[in-house]
């Protein structure tokens, strides 16, 4: 694998990692600002900064950083403060010596990939690199932080021709890293978060994987086997950004599909996702895709099938489904949920936004039923 082709986008290694680490440790105020962003509590900033600085002393690679800082410190703290529980299923059929391309549903800007890393750690499996959009890279220090944590930078704001070529290059990096370096990568099933809760894979992502290596003579089916694709379903009992997402999508519906994000909107959503209550969170690691696939659409369908069947449905999902369908089909699954309290969160919203948000919770139930052919 010729890494010189990917130096501007790949995670930091060797001297580049040590340089970024030195710059980070020299900017204690940045670490403090990051700590406050995570906690929202000034009293916890200094202990957090001290813990980070202490951990960084023995960190010399992005794998170290993930194990000791992100999955070792940050994610356990977030789980402790903002969830009522965290659980993991699957992973038993994965080989520790193999690289996998984890393709998951995408609900939270930052947490989806980091929670998967934490889930892999609990299963004593190697952690993964993660594809992150450059829209989050607000300055060099932030980019350094992401790339120290195994981040692969996805360049999004490019002219059409350049964007296509960059997609080919990123896809080539994915295939080579997984098949030649035996290193796993996380990528979302679509560009941008799922706003409607349907969690459908964009077949274009699969197509680009094939196009990146087509010139080398691989058949489509052969290339898919080299990718070792593993679907992952990440479920949140409560989405801290549910109302924001609903307003954005309804605005698009009323504005011919157009929506202009405010300057720091992604950053605000990221902070809200990290800080706010999520209830129970579950990560379901699927099985590697096997068999013969002839088209990107077939692969996308196979990914979706596992995600929809493995998605951990919560009382909030079942209640929203029954409220919208006007029945009590799943009442046994939300008997302990305070129905009025949950619905009161959306009482102040316009009817179209309220309906959209409730459908976001209800759609995973519909997708599960569809996958089971029970609708």
Residue-range domain boundaries for the chain: 3-296, 313-375
- Token digits for 313? 């449905």
Counting beta carbons within 10 angstroms of the beta carbon of residue 333, is it exposed (0 to 12), middle (13 to 18) or buried (19 or more)?
Answer: middle
- pLDDT at residue number 375: 57
Q: For 363, phi and psi rounded to 5 degrees?
A: -60, -35
Within 10 Å of residue 165's Cβ, how many Cβ atoms? 12
- Own/partner contacts of 42-48, CB < 8 Å, gap of 24 or more, are 48/77
Confirm or reject CATH 3.40.50 for domain 3-296, answering yes or no.
Answer: no
Q: pLDDT 10s digit of each residue in the chain, 375 long?
A: 898 999 999 999 999 999 999 999 898 888 888 778 777 777 778 888 888 888 899 999 999 999 999 999 889 989 999 999 999 999 999 999 999 999 999 999 889 999 999 999 999 999 999 999 988 888 888 899 999 999 999 998 899 999 999 999 999 999 999 999 999 999 999 988 899 999 999 999 999 999 999 999 999 999 999 999 999 999 999 999 999 999 999 998 888 777 777 777 888 888 899 989 999 999 999 999 998 999 999 999 999 999 999 999 999 999 999 999 999 999 999 999 999 999 999 999 999 999 999 999 999 999 999 999 865
Please say whether the beta carbons of 150 and 128 come within 8 A. Answer: yes
DSSP-derived pairing of the beta strands 101-104 and 185-188? parallel
Q: Are 361 and 196 in contact (CB under 8 A)?
A: no
- The 10 Å Cβ neighbour count of residue 260 is 7
- Tell which residue, 192, 224, 230, 229, has the closest CA to residue 211: 224
Tokens of 239: 């989405």
Whether residue 337 contacts residue 316, with contact meaning beta carbons closer than 8 Å, is answered with yes
C-alpha span between 51 and 38 (Å, rounded): 14
Q: Strands of 229-236's sheet, edge to edge?
A: 85-90, 280-285, 229-236, 101-104, 185-188, 129-133, 151-154
């Amino acid at each position: 694998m010729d890494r010189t082709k990917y130096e501007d986008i790949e995670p930091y290694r060797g001297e580049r990692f040590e340089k970024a680490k030195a710059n980070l440790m020299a900017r204690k105020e940045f670490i403090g600002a990051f700590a406050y962003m995570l906690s929202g509590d000034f009293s916890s900033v200094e202990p957090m900064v001290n813990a980070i600085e202490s951990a960084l002393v023995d960190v010399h690679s992005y794998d170290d950083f993930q194990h000791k800082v992100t999955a070792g410190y940050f994610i356990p703290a977030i789980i402790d403060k903002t969830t009522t529980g965290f659980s993991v299923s699957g992973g038993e059929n994965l080989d520790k010596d193999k690289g996998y391309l984890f393709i998951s549903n995408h609900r939270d800007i930052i947490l989806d990939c980091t929670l998967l890393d934490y889930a892999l750690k609990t299963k004593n499996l190697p952690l993964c690199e993660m594809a992150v959009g450059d829209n989050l890279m607000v300055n060099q220090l932030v980019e350094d932080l992401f790339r120290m944590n195994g981040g692969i930078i996805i360049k999004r704001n490019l002219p059409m021709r350049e964007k296509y070529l960059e997609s080919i290059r990123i896809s080539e990096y994915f295939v080579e890293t997984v098949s030649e370096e035996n290193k796993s990568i996380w990528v979302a099933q679509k560009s941008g978060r799922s706003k409607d809760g349907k969690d459908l894979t964009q077949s274009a992502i699969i197509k680009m994987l094939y196009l990146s290596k087509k010139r080398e003579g691989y058949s489509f089916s052969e290339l898919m086997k080299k990718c070792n694709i593993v679907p992952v379903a990440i479920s949140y009992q409560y989405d801290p950004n549910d109302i924001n997402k609903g307003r954005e999508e309804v605005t698009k519906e009323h504005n011919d599909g157009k929506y202009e994000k405010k300057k720091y909107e992604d950053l605000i959503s990221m902070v809200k996702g990290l800080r706010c209550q999520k209830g129970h969170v579950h990560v379901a690691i699927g099985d590697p895709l096997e068999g013969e696939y002839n088209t990107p659409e077939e692969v996308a369908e196979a990914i979706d099938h596992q995600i929809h069947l493995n998605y951990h449905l919560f009382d909030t999902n079942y209640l929203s489904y029954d409220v919208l369908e006007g029945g009590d089909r799943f009442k046994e699954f939300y008997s302990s949920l305070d129905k009025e309290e949950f619905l009161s969160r959306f009482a102040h919203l316009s009817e179209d936004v309220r309906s959209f948000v409730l459908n976001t919770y209800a759609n995973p139930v519909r997708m599960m039923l569809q996958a089971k052919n029970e609708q």
